[in-house]
Amino acid sequence: MPIRYKCRHCETEIGQLPLDSIDEHFLQKNDITVDEQELYIEHGASGDYTVQCICEECQSSLQKFPNYYALKKWIQ
* Pairing relationship of beta strands 13-18 and 49-53 according to DSSP bridges: unpaired
Residue 27 has pLDDT above 60, yes or no: no
pTM beyond 0.75, yes or no: no
Report the C-alpha gap between 21 and 40 in whole angstroms. 21
- Separation of alpha carbons 32 and 76, rounded Å: 28
Q: What is the DSSP string of 5-53?
A: EEETTT--EEEEEEGGGS-HHHHH--S--HHHHHHHEEE-TTS-EEEEE
Q: Higher confidence at residue 7 or residue 1?
A: 7
Domain ranges across the chain: 2-70
